[in-house]
Amino acid sequence: MKMKENELPILKITNIDWDKDHDEYDKLPKEFELEWRTRDWNIDDVSNWISLKFDWVFNSINIEQIGTWEVSGCCCAGGCSCC
């Protein structure tokens, strides 16, 4: 998938097989979409991010790039009205 200069990937994370030895196993997501913050990604980087984000390990996962999102040139989270 060819991306423009200001585009980054959207990843669809599915079929997450979490390790079941977790106090709140039922609250862990089975799938979600993720706006990845760099142009390049690999399964190791994404897997590590997911484990850190949810503070748990999983046995298997599916990752697919489903699109892109555009990065604004603004320097702040409030949009450029504050600049």
Mind listing the pLDDT tens digit for each residue in 55-70? 999 999 999 999 999 9
Name the pTM for this structure: 0.79
Mean pLDDT over 68-77 rounds to 74
What are the b/e assignments for 41-71, b being 16+ CB within 10 Å? beeeebbebbeeeeebeeeebebeeeebeee
